[in-house]
Amino acid sequence: MFTLNQLESFVAVAETLHYGRAAERLSMTQPPLSRRIQLLERELGVELFDRIGRSVRLTAAGQAFLGDARRILGLSEQAALSVRRVPAGEIGTVALGFTASSAHSVLDAIVGGIHARLPGVDLVLRESVSGTQLEKLRSGELDLGLVRPPVPGTGLEHRPLHREALLAAIPAGHPLAAPDRVPHVRDLDGEPFVMYSPAEARYFYEVLVSVFRGAGVVPRYVHHLSQVHTILALVRAGLGLALVPRAAEALGLDGIVLRPMIGVEGEPVELVAAWRANDDNPALHAVRHLVIDLAGRDIS
Amino acid sequence: MFTLNQLESFVAVAETLHYGRAAERLSMTQPPLSRRIQLLERELGVELFDRIGRSVRLTAAGQAFLGDARRILGLSEQAALSVRRVPAGEIGTVALGFTASSAHSVLDAIVGGIHARLPGVDLVLRESVSGTQLEKLRSGELDLGLVRPPVPGTGLEHRPLHREALLAAIPAGHPLAAPDRVPHVRDLDGEPFVMYSPAEARYFYEVLVSVFRGAGVVPRYVHHLSQVHTILALVRAGLGLALVPRAAEALGLDGIVLRPMIGVEGEPVELVAAWRANDDNPALHAVRHLVIDLAGRDIS
DNA sequence: AAACATCGATCCATTATAGGTATCAGTTGA
DNA sequence: TCAACTGATACCTATAATGGATCGATGTTT
């Protein structure tokens, strides 16, 4: 196979059509340049130049090869430049995990922010529940996870990203949906309630269980589901009430009223970013800092 | 800049993740391979591999560079292969000249045939009158010309390609267009006639002049034009009769009848292919042989 | 736990390759 | 015909790449 030096020399001669000046441009003398071109021609088995008298002309083969040579040289230069940007994190691939519910709150801001401020970074998005994400973080399948707490401390680091309130989801015709009515947790006692699944949405399940326990309330669970939008569909169908994160407002479903509820104070729903402490993917560092920066400005 | 050898070595190590086996694949021993990779890393200013203990892993930068390296190597191999096909004429560029009137007869068959049987050959098509084509052939601007005879013999070779008849173009309502009427050259005597331009369509002008002179006929020239379809437009408008090559049938104009004419015998319109005798464009040879082959099967 | 095997890095002598100077041979233009 | 110019060649030198021997570190086995 030919060398890039030969290609560079060939392009120089092809552009000047003069060995002496081409050699000057390449910071060398003419004789070794002549030999380089000869070697390239022998290597290819093709004449690239017609040396007629003291004039040099490209052959048809040389003409055709010139384009390829330029392309190869350009690609090489480009590759050398872009690989240098990888360790700075400007270029690379980050596998980002997220929970279904975080897709409604922070995911779009994060994806958009990365796209805008780290355009060289490819994101690989993978939805899965927190527990699975933690496993994949440890195995290296994921670089960064958007998970629900807690994050067990074995080799993983984490940082809170976002907190949000829980709102009551009430079908439009329901008495609790009346404009002058302020719902209270106690109103849920004995009421039909669409609950999160303890398996696939354990975090929400446990948050709600602790809310109900603290208030001494016992709703009547009519279903256990994991996806917020499925829960809301059942609420709208009148099968029961539910508690959903505020981000559900963005879903904009008709026929449902979302209301803060007395006794469900503050922002009990937490989302944290987690990553492997010794992950050496440089793009991860850039992405992590950007995500934390976005969180500091209260993304939502 | 790095060398292609370095890229090849890098790809081998990246694919085997084992210096010893990579060196074997590259038909060399392990120590120089180690140094090659080190040199490549120093050249790029980037670590490509993590040597952890005795295991080798790609860094993020190495991962990114691997794709570029494969692309550059593939392109290089491709370029080496295709440049070898140029001297055989399978690949290349041929500048093909043609006269406006030949566009109606053989050009599409030629272009189509080249596209089908020499798919690697790019055609550059340039329309101009025969005289200009001959100049451009001599200067090397054209490789092959489709011209009207004669071809003066200074450095150009040529070959007849195609002959065709001249038909009378008669407006539909004209007495000569009657189905039972067989037009005769003498019918043109004193008649309004749309003539070719002696400047831009000299060949047709001279063919017609010699036809008229041989028959002792003197039509009344109402216009001198160069393009066949313009002439036919004037005929249809009733401004006069005309004589056009048979290929004009392909234009399919309504309101005009094309008829053979007694006294205009045979196929007086000739088209020849011409080329520079010492043109060293290999694709030209392939194209020339194809064109002549097509002509032998009476293209039209 | 200790001996062993494996693997990449390093050292050194050797070889191969590329570069430079001087010169040649062919062409061009005065 | 001669002088200038251009690419090719010959020859020497310097640089770089190669291969063998070996080192040091790391797992593995007994």
| Residue A44, domain CATH | 1.10.10.10
Say if A251 is an interface residue toward chain B (CB within 8 Å): no
- Whether residue B250 is found in the same domain as residue B238: yes
A31 in contact with nucleic chain D (CB within 7 A)? yes
Give the residue from B51, B86, B143 with the most A CB atoms within 10 Å of its CB, the best one to mutate: B86
Å from the B12 CA to the C13 C1': 28
Residues B73 and B202 in one domain: no
The reported pLDDT for the residue numbered A83 is 94
Do A176 and A29 lie in a common domain?
no
Q: Pick the last residue of a domain from A19, A51, A85.
A: A85
Count A/B contacts: CB-CB distance under 8 Å: 117
3-state secondary structure of B60: helix
Q: Which residue is nearest to nucleotide D17 (CA to C1')?
A: B32
Q: Answer yes or no: are the C-beta atoms of A129 and A158 closer than 8 Å.
A: no
B72 touches chain A (CB under 8 A): yes
Whether A111 contacts A141, CB under 8 Å: no
| Helix %, strand %, coil % of chain B (to 5) | 45, 25, 30
B180 and B108, same domain (yes or no)? no
3-class state of residue B142 by DSSP: coil
What is the extent of the structural domain holding B213? 166-259
Nearest to B91 among A64, A77, A280 (CB): A64
Nearest to A241 by CA among A158, A165, A142, A173: A173
Q: Which of A85, A104, A138 is the last residue of a domain?
A: A85
- C1’ D12 / CA A31, Å: 14
B178 domain residue, yes or no: yes
Single-letter residue type at B102: S
By DSSP bridging, strand B269-276 and strand B144-147 are antiparallel
How many residues belong to chain A?
300
CA closest to B8 among chain A residues? A1
Residue B137 counted as domain residue? yes
Regarding whether A275 and A245 lie in a shared domain, the answer is: no
Structure tokens at B140: 């090397």
Q: Which nucleotides of D are covered by protein (CB under 7 A)?
A: 5-10, 17-21, 24-27
Whether residue B265 is contained in a domain is answered as no
Whole-angstrom Cα distance, residue A290 to residue A115? 11
Residue B118 covered by a domain:
yes
Q: Which residues of A fall within a CB distance of 8 Å from B45? A: 84
For residue B264, is it within any domain?
A: no
Q: What local confidence, expressed as pLDDT, does residue A300 receive?
A: 45
Asked whether A267 and A165 are in contact (CB, 8 A), the reply is yes
Q: Which residue is nearest to nucleotide D9 (CA to C1')?
A: A31
B124 touches chain A (CB under 8 A): no
Is residue A51 domain-resident?
yes
Report the CATH number that the domain containing residue B221 is assigned in CATH.
Answer: 3.40.190.10
| Whole-number pLDDT of residue B196 | 95
**Same domain, yes or no: B74 and B194:** no
Chain A touched by B79 (CB under 8 Å): yes
Residue type present at position A70: R
Residues A48 and A174 in one domain: no
In a domain? residue B289: yes
pTM, entire model: 0.74
**Along the 300 residues of chain B, how does pLDDT read in single tens digits?**
899 999 999 999 999 999 999 999 999 999 999 999 999 999 999 999 998 877 899 999 999 999 999 999 999 999 999 999 999 888 989 999 999 888 877 898 899 999 999 998 999 999 998 989 999 998 888 999 999 989 987 789 999 999 999 999 999 989 999 988 899 999 999 999 999 999 889 999 999 999 999 999 999 999 999 889 899 999 999 999 999 999 898 887 889 999 999 999 889 999 999 999 888 888 999 999 999 898 876 544
Q: Which pLDDT value is given to residue A265?
A: 83
Q: Say yes or no: B277 and B131 in one domain.
A: yes
A250 to A104, A106, A215, A247: CA distances (angstroms): 7, 11, 28, 6
Query: Do A180 and A234 reside in the same domain of the chain?
Result: yes
Same domain? A174 vs A158: no
The reply to whether B50 and B104 lie within a common domain is no
Cis amide linkage into residue B150, ω under 30° from 0:
yes
Per-residue model confidence as pLDDT tens for chain A (300 residues): 899 999 999 999 999 999 999 999 999 999 999 999 999 999 999 999 998 877 899 999 999 999 999 999 999 999 999 999 998 888 988 999 999 888 877 898 899 999 999 998 999 999 998 989 999 998 888 999 999 989 987 789 999 999 999 999 999 989 999 988 889 999 999 999 999 999 889 999 999 999 999 999 999 999 999 889 899 999 999 999 999 999 888 887 788 999 999 989 889 999 999 999 888 888 999 999 999 888 876 544
Shortest distance, CA B7 to any CA of chain A (angstroms): 10
B56 within domain boundaries: yes
Contact B216, B151 (CB under 8 A): no
Instruction: Say yes or no: B188 and B44 in one domain.
Output: no
What total of structural domains would you count in chain B?
Answer: 3
